[in-house]
A and B are shown apart, each in its own frame.
Chain A
Amino acid sequence: MIEFSVNKTRANLDVDPSTPLLWVIRDHLGLTGTKYGCGIAQCGACTVHIDGQAVRSCVAPVSRAAGKEVTTIEGLSPDLSHPLQRAWIEEDVPQCGYCQSGQLMSAAVLLREKRQPTDDDIDKAMTGNICRCGTYPRIRKAIHRAAGNFAKRGAR
């Protein structure tokens, strides 16, 4: 039995501890917002937070989450109110949308750590997330916009 919390809800699962967290989230917990893209931590589509850190869940065994707090895209906000979600909507970022959960989860850690990230900060934090549609310029703009929102709202 592995116990951890997902989006503030307790999960108690009888699952092979070597199973990647991604597939536990998707197949066992039914949270399909987190995506599979490569399975080898190359694309970032599967990015979630474990205790606030961005993790590529496709290569993280579920055992790594034991006793910890996992946040997925579904837990980023209950109502699209996260500054990044609002900025993504404002800038019309997504095209196909498949990579965007991972993009947002990576960006959320960046924004928490750097309230006013520079372009270099964005490069460093976001380089692990591939977007085949090529939404990078808009992702960059949206992160800057959200940083503005953060400052205005005084949010963390």
Chain B
Amino acid sequence: MSRAIHRREFLKVSIGAGGGLFLGFRLAGTGETLAMQNGSAASFTPNAFVRIGTDERVTVIVNHSEMGQGVYTSLPMLLAEELDADWNNVAFESAPVDPKYNHPVFGMQMTGGSSSVWSGFEQFRQAGAAARAMLIAAAAQQWNVDPSKCRTDSGAVFDPSNRKLTYGQLAAAAAKLTPPAQVPLKDPTTFKLIGKPAKRLDTSEKVNGTAVFGVDVKMPGMMTAVVARAPIFGAKVRAFDDSRARSMSGVHRIVAVPSGVAVIADSFWQAKMARDALHIDWDEGTMSSFNTNQMMQQFREQAKLTGKSVRRDGDADATLAKAAKKLEAVYEVPYLSHAMMEPLNCAVDLRPESCEIWTGTQFQTVDRANAAKTAGLPDEKVQIHTTFLGGGFGRRANPQSDFVVEAVHVAKAAGVPVKVVWTREDDMQGGWYRPAFLHAIAGAIDTNGKAVAWRSRIVGQSIMAGTPFEGMADLKGKGYDPSSVEGADDLPYEIPNLAVESHQMEVRVPVQWWRSVGHSHTAFATECFIDELAAIAHQDPYRFRRDLLQKHPRHLGVLDLAAQKAGWAKPLPKGRARGIAVHASFESFSAQVAEVSVNDGKVQVHRMVCAIDCGRYVNPGIIAAQTEGGAIFGASAALFQELTFENGRLRQSNFHSFPMLRMNECPEIETHIIESREKSGGIGEPGVPCAAPAIANAVFAATGKRIRRLPIRLSEAV
């Protein structure tokens, strides 16, 4: 971004409350927040990111969505650091949708790509530093002293004789000043908050039931809708019989919408019961014979052919042809559901001249544009109020805004404010999955036991094809989707002959980014295959990786740390075995060691040791939480999760058929963080990719058999 332009854009001074938009949203939420708003009615709003009340409260307006990753804490920490705020007085508020809250790199308001902290690192500090400069100027004016002689600490300005004025006392005067043109930022060695543990700001409301998620939104006169959607992707409603449903209690309207048939009722349960009583005649379309087994067979056939070249170093094919020792392996991963704990939902108040939307979304700008188009209103007449997200993992960043657009269609028919609520089954069967992938890898070892060739063919659906992001990622020019091969095309191992190829498959199952995107499968394939090469070279898998990573100090750093903390060289109790994996994603570096046992055909993960290097970090508590959570997310997929289709219908529907780790299955997890001055990398996703290969490699160490397909089934091990 151009910082100069950005500063002009957002450094505006105003007096008064933060704006009716916030107020409108908070009214739907808790009374506590409303009181807070009133308390800071007279406030200093130096820019779009902070408001300081005469009650000393510093409210940081956060342009990223809180879905568990801690942005409502880490981004306020950045601002509070430069402001020298009293952390006990810092509060957060979700930003309305507005271009001034666009992601400085991606150019739209959104949360994803593990980018919130690095993209906000300067933005939030600048906002805090500008506010601080104005508060100092206001105090200096009052005291008639040189502002450069004043200092700030814990929410107050001090003059050389230690006279003190708090930010609250200065708010009104500071609001009359012009924002400074240039504000220097702190020397990182003087940080008081950044890099230190701080409690999350959103915990209290998450332990007493007052946190407002999308599904909790209430509006006067609001109704609830449940939609009967196509049982097969692409199926269309031919006709429907709602005679029974219409007579059911609480039902107001039953209407056809582009995604199916919506039942609008007084309450969720009434809407759901009536929805289930509909008889719909579906035109099943072309996907009615779709079958994932057949699809994977097709992928296997495709992998025999040369694909679109993504990377070529040396000559892998020639080296493979004359290699001393050669290995070929095919790795397969299934479709996966994001399965956020809070199923999708969206509340809409559509009026002739406005459209107000309340939802937990990761994609405000895209959703607003799609909602505006659906409502027939200009963009600026649509407001999106971002609630807490009961998990996101990518699903709530839908390029077509599927759950928002549908809710606007329902609102058009409802004539009253309406909240569309998806059941768990609706959510799981509603598409936009992590695509299934196949990696066919061939590798060679020379007579010295060195890896000399690696050829990887990656077969699967593109996430970005057909979306507005296709052009941004230059899919047509490249001939492949970078998100399909990320983590495989930048293989860090020093192998002189390396070929990475892509086969982009057309399948009409809607797919989407799923926590760690391409890395969720490329790390499994590459880190299992390097482990397999180590085995045929008769070398220790940790040492083998080490030797090939000499030019990659940050990979080595986490690899060594994880191995050391796990006690890699130390013997384990009988029946236990370790596996290791290292992988870079989202500009962060991760290594994990899994300790497993295999009994009665069942894999149990006892311990996971994680090492993470995410550059300069803001809050180590959140770094650890995200790394642990990522490892558990990855382990759930590795051990249990798979979506399969038969005759176009998804066979899984809820947590009994799409399980995830539970308390009794959760390993002991420890996280070790590398101290670093490097630019901040991501943290929401990098904990995921290593879990599956670390566990699969541990299963090999325990059983001598390789896992080449997820989820892990010992019966399939080779």
Contact = CB atoms under 8 A, between A and B. Distances in A.
B202 A97 contact: yes
The listed residue with most B CB atoms (<10 A of its CB), out of A33, A92, A132, A137, is A132
Nearest to A140: B663
A20 B270 CA distance: 11
Contacts of B654: 38-40, 42
Interface string B633-671: 100000000000000000000111000111110101100
B208 A73 contact: yes
Interface of B: 66-70, 199-200, 202-213, 215-216, 218, 224, 249, 266-269, 339-343, 388-393, 421, 423-425, 621, 625-626, 628-633, 654-656, 660-664, 666, 668-669
B68 A96 contact: yes
Nearest to B211: A97
Contact of A96 (B199, B390, B621, B662): B390
A124 B663 CA distance: 9
Given A32-B216, A98-B388, A136-B663, 10 more contacts: A23-B268, A38-B655, A85-B208, A89-B203, A95-B629, A100-B206, A130-B655, A131-B341, A132-B391, A132-B393
B435 to A, nearest CB: 20
A147 interface: no
Contact of A76 (B208, B339, B662): B208
A136 B660 CA distance: 12
Contacts of B267: 23, 27-28
Nearest to B204: A80
Contact of A137 (B204, B206, B628): B628
A56 interface: no
Contacts of B390: 35, 96-98
Interface of A: 16, 19-20, 23, 26-28, 30-40, 42-43, 45, 72-74, 76-77, 80, 84-85, 88-89, 92-101, 104, 122-124, 126-140
Given A23-B267, A23-B269, A94 B424 contact: no
A81 to B, nearest CB: 10
A80 B207 contact: yes
A37 B424 contact: yes
Contacts of B668: 137
A36 to B, nearest CB: 7
A96 B208 contact: no
Contact of B341 (A31, A37, A72): A37
Contact of B631 (A36, A96, A122, A134): A134
Nearest to A28: B267
A130 B661 CA distance: 8
A98 B269 contact: no
A153 B608 CA distance: 35
Given A32-B209, A98-B341, A92 B389 contact: no
Contact of B662 (A35, A97, A127): A127
A30 B29 CA distance: 12
Contact of B70 (A28, A43, A89, A95): A95
A70 B444 CA distance: 65
B600 to A, nearest CB: 18
The listed residue with most A CB atoms (<10 A of its CB), out of B66, B199, B268, B662, is B662
Q: Which 7 A-B pairs have the closest CB atoms?
A: A33-B209, A134-B632, A98-B390, A97-B206, A95-B68, A96-B68, A134-B629
Nearest to A142: B207
A40 B340 CA distance: 16
A16 B273 CA distance: 12
Contact of B632 (A38, A89, A98, A136): A136
B340 A132 contact: yes
Contacts of B663: 122-123, 126-127, 129, 136, 139-140
Contacts of A85: 207-208
A132 B633 contact: yes
A89 B210 contact: no
Nearest to B215: A36
28 contacts: A27-B268, A27-B269, A35-B215, A36-B268, A37-B341, A38-B654, A39-B424, A73-B207, A73-B208, A80-B207, A85-B208, A88-B207, A92-B625, A93-B203, A93-B207, A94-B202, A94-B206, A95-B70, A95-B626, A96-B390, A101-B209, A122-B663, A123-B664, A126-B662, A130-B660, A132-B391, A134-B632, A138-B628
A34 B203 contact: no
